[in-house]
Structure 1
Amino acid sequence: MSDILSDEARHLLLEPLLKNGWALAEGRDALVKTYKFDSFVDAFGWMTRVAMWAEKWDHHPAWRNVYKTVEVELWSHDLGGLCAQDAKLARKMDSLICQSC
């Protein structure tokens, strides 16, 4: 199991994500991002690709899909905050977005 991110790890792992459209959630230790796709099929296809990685890594996002928009929230439920796995999954989500373009 991972630990909550230290201040040093937080800066190292989160800074690139924040520059790539992720944000820190208000009032809690979580990352949030909204993805917009060309169609529902593109959004759902991306979610399916992400789901395979999330299952493989046993680290699952909280997300909401409405038509061609997917709102994502990442945090480690059992830790009550962000850990390295959250940053890893966020990076994977961003890398899979180009496959939906």
Structure 2
Amino acid sequence: MTELLTDRDIEDAQLADWTVVEKSLTRTVELASFRAAIEVVNRVADAAEEADHHPDIDIRWRTLTFTLSTHSAGGLTRKDVDVARRIDELIAN
């Protein structure tokens, strides 16, 4: 089983644009257009497949909300932090 992160581990990860909501990491971002939002979703989908760890994604026009949690572990793990960082990179590009 994958080890759960402590509150300190999550703080040390320095995910500035992410918030902890219950046992999940969440980030909302607004893109320039619906098409730009879908392009980000497609890039995140490719990265999630590579990592074999998939975020929940809520699409509202050009606003995306990403939610990460390792359901099988019952909370946040290193996988969530790694995918959050990858999502940050994809949004920045």
Same fold, TM-score > 0.5, yes or no: yes
d(CA) in 2 for partners of 1:2, 1:39 = 37
Q: Which amino acid aligns with 1:3?
A: E
RMSD across aligned positions (CA): 1.3
Map of 1:47 onto structure 2: 41
Matches within 5 A, 1:1-101: 2-13=2-13, 16-17=14-15, 20-25=16-21, 28-99=22-93
Q: Which amino acid aligns with 1:35?
A: V
- Identity percentage of aligned residues: 33
Post-superposition CA distance 1:6-48 (Å, at most 9, x none)? 35433322xx10xx221111xx211111010000110000111
d(CA) in 2 for partners of 1:66, 1:24 = 21
- Structure 1 length normalisation: TM-score? 0.84
- Structure 2 length normalisation: TM-score? 0.91
d(CA) in 2 for partners of 1:30, 1:92 = 16
Q: Which amino acid aligns with 1:49?
A: R
d(CA) in 2 for partners of 1:9, 1:33 = 18
d(CA) in 2 for partners of 1:74, 1:93 = 11
Which structure has more helix as a fraction of its residues?
1
Give the secondary-structure state (helix, strand or coil) at the position aligned to 2:59.
Answer: strand
d(CA) in 2 for partners of 1:8, 1:22 = 15
Q: Which amino acid aligns with 1:89?
A: V
Gapped regions of structure 2 (runs ≥ 5): none
Gapped regions of structure 1 (runs ≥ 5): none
* Structure 1: 4+ residue segments shifted above 3 A: none
